[in-house]
Amino acid sequence: MAGKIGKCNTVSLKHPGTSVQKIKFVAQAELPTKHGIFTIMGFLSERDSKEYTVVIHGDVMGKEDCPVRIHSECHTGEIWGSLRCDCREQLEASIKYINAKPYGLIIYCKQEGRGIGLLNKLKSYQLQDHGLDTVEANLHLGFPVDMRDYTAGIDIIQFLGIKSVALLTNNPKKIEAFNQKGIPVTRRVPLVITPNKYNEGYLKTKKEKLNHLL
């Protein structure tokens, strides 16, 4: 795993198909964005057969105190610009933060609706339109409050040899997941998003019922 590519100064993995800790590296390419030029890497998890993408700025291989965001997919917020949540704002804040640092990365996970899937998330929205909060709606549908799993994302961190992370999150569950896997979280980087009239109740529920650090 040697060599460098593009303007991102990112270590190039020359052998697609390499597997470590049940995560398989598939491909990488330069990714110019409105926020800056990054490297995008694709991985396949042998744990859940899901595809994961990682957007990297700078050389993250073997780093300590590496800024990391593990971000769960939000179709409604990131595609349609929904104001019911703060997912899109958190993602964009993370991209800007990492681009301003010497190095860092964002791992994008397919875990829509805290893991219940897109269509069930829409069912949850429908229940919320009738007075339930986001936690009550998931439980009403027969799902746990939060089904997300960060193991594959942590597999990617281990694949890249990152020794410790500065975790961009408001969710203590993510910090616990890293600690359980033996990857030190040197510090938490808060993602402070200004509420709007559509997501004030949602953010209040995340703080009061999910213990998010808002």
The tokens describing 189, both together, are 């980087």
First to last CA, the chain: 39
Which are the catalytic amino acids?
Answer: 146, 148
- The CATH number of residue 170's host domain is 3.40.50.10990
Residue 40 located in a structural domain = yes
Residue range 150-164, pLDDT digits in tens: 999 999 999 999 999
What type of residue is 19? S
Number of domains in the chain: 1
β-pairing, 36-45 with 23-33? antiparallel
Residue 201 located in a structural domain = yes
The tokens describing 191, both together, are 């993602």
Percent of the chain whose pLDDT exceeds 70: 90
Task: Give the pLDDT confidence score for residue 27 in this predicted structure.
Answer: 95
Range of the domain at 201: 4-111+148-208
Task: Give the pLDDT confidence score for residue 214 in this predicted structure.
Answer: 82
Q: Which pLDDT band, with edges at 50, 70 and 90, does 22 fall under? A: confident
Residue 119 located in a structural domain = no
pTM of the model: 0.88
Residue 33 located in a structural domain = yes
3-class secondary-structure state, position 196: coil
Instruction: Please state, in angstroms and rounded to a whole number, the distance separating the CA atoms of residues 40 and 184.
Output: 24
Residue 134 located in a structural domain = no
Residue 10 located in a structural domain = yes
Residue 137 located in a structural domain = no
Task: Give the pLDDT confidence score for residue 10 in this predicted structure.
Answer: 43
Residue 92 located in a structural domain = yes
The tokens describing 8, both together, are 């991102």
- φ, ψ (nearest 5 deg) of residue 151: -60, -45
